[in-house]
Structure 1
Amino acid sequence: MTKLATHTESGYERSDFDFYPTEPWITAGALGKLTLRGEVLEPACGDGAMARILREAGYRTWATDIHDHGYDGLDGLHNFLDTPPLDPACGIRTIFTNPPFGERGKLAEAFVRHALKIMMPVGGLVVMFLRVDWDSAGTRADLFERRPHWSRKLVLTSRAQFFEGEHGGKKNHAFFVWDALHSGPPTIDYINKPKVAR
């Protein structure tokens, strides 16, 4: 993996294109708690870590990225932030991804806002893997009001490992879920890492 010379809060150098593959148990854990809607767009698919699990679970998944990280299931190179509004006849009803974080989380916020902009009008679902405290910023408070349909938070009880040789990771993460068809208050649940059989 090519790295840039910029260091992040984790103490590791920032990866080109904020490329941090997601461990399989994380995506599988989310799918154990959620039922996705329609076809799925994974717009920051990287090496296919999430897309593989989504496809194995039976979801028709479109895997795109702004850069080719070598995933043989890549459907095309595309800047997600340039995605136009979806035709209602389009089958995509879920966006599921680990978005690039960017400086101070600005790119992740742009991904969330754009995903909501194109999914909510077609009755869709947005599932984003973010730092667990991502909902505590005042500048993002509008994202967690009843509209745009803030519905669920799935907190990992073990830390994600993004770097080779890393033990337990440096940050806590959760899946944040917005659902155009949701009514009522948001709920919270937890994803446990499976125990390794000895």
Structure 2
Amino acid sequence: MTVVPSGYVLKDFELYETETWATHRLADFLKLDTHRVIWEPSAGNHKIADVFVSAGHRVITSDITIHNRPHHFISDFFGDIRLPHFDDLISNPPYGKQNILAARYARLAISRCSGWIALLLTAKFDFGSTRGDLFRYNPRFFAKITLTDRIKWFEGPSTGTEDHAWYIWAPTSHGQQTFAQIHYAGRDR
């Protein structure tokens, strides 16, 4: 299948809700201890958070704006914010043109979180020489879960026009690994 531009004009603070199946594939892979606190800093309407809460996790939610559900606090992840107490960070961050915002978000997440980090990004996000610090030269880069089905971001009959993957960085205490893992997962596992 060829990826084609959708022609959709992006709007500031637009809501892109992650389908539940995609978050379940991440949760199945990570198997996080329920005593760990997860921060979802781009929570939207809590679609990612809800999956982990239903599995018994404590999830702190924040975002730059409120859509339909209130957050624990409002904040711009890129700003100088007071960080909550958390162990792990899981999010579907804003991408921006050419994924520039997403790369900035990933770097900031790595600098702010010493635990597990999982970000839902475009499947080709790890391509290119300008992101070597996130992947090739980053001893914390642990795994990529390529989603074999496309995420449907909006109501209607059509599917998404882009492929996505979960990118996972291990805790600093995990130790360095030689090679990152690659996994594949879809709607039906």
TM-score, length of structure 2 as denominator length: 0.87
CA offsets 1:103-137 (integer angstroms, 9 cap, x no match): 221111111011000113xxx11100000000002
Deviations 1:44-86 (A, max 9, x none): 00011111111111111001000011114x2111111235586
CA distance in 1, matches of 2:94, 2:25: 21
Residue of structure 2 in register with 1:118 after alignment: 112
Identify the residue that residue 184 of structure 2 maps to in structure 1.
190
Contact 1:95/1:126 (8 A) holds in 2: yes
Stretches of 4+ aligned residues off by more than 6 angstroms: none
CA root-mean-square deviation: 2.1
Provide the rounded CA distance (Å) in 2 between the counterparts of 1:146 and 1:103. 24
Q: How does 1:140-179 map to 2 (within 5 A)?
A: 140-179=131-170
Letter in structure 2 aligned against 1:183: Q
CA separation in 1, counterparts of 2:69 and 2:160? 24
Task: Flag the structure with higher helix content.
Answer: 1
Seen in structure 2, the aligned counterparts of structure 1 residues 131 and 77 have a Cα distance that, compared at 3 Å, is same
Show the 5 A alignment for 1:55-134: 55-72=53-70, 74-82=71-79, 90=85, 92-120=86-114, 124-134=115-125
Structure 2: any 5+ residue segments left out of the alignment?
none
**In 1, are the aligned partners of 2:75 and 2:81 still within 8 Å (CA)?**
no
Cα distance in 1 between the residues matched to 2:146 and 2:113 = 23
From 28, 33, 36, the equivalent of 2:32 is 36
| Paired residues, number | 181
Which structure 1 segments of 5+ residues have no match? 1-7
Q: TM-score, normalised by structure 1?
A: 0.83
- Aligned 8 A contact 1:19 1:100 in 2: no
Matched position secondary structure for 1:189: strand
Q: Does the aligned pair in 2 maintain the 1:65–1:78 contact within 8 Å?
A: yes
**Superimposed CA distance per residue, residues 89-108 of structure 1 (whole angstroms, 9 cap, x where no aligned partner):** x3x11100000111221111
Residue 162 of structure 1 and its aligned partner are, at CA, apart by: 0.6
Task: Call closer, same or farther: CA 1:18–1:101 in 2, change over 3 Å.
Answer: farther
- Residue identity over aligned pairs, in percent, reads 30
> What is the CA-CA distance between 1:156 and the residue it aligns to?
0.5
Q: 1:187 to 1:160 in 2, by over 3 A?
A: same
Corresponding position: 1:17 with 2:13: yes
Secondary structure in 1 matching 2:10: strand
In 2, Cα distance between the equivalents of 1:155 and 1:58?
25
- Given that residues 151 and 187 in structure 1 are in contact (C-alpha distance below 8 angstroms), is that contact kept between their aligned partners in structure 2? yes
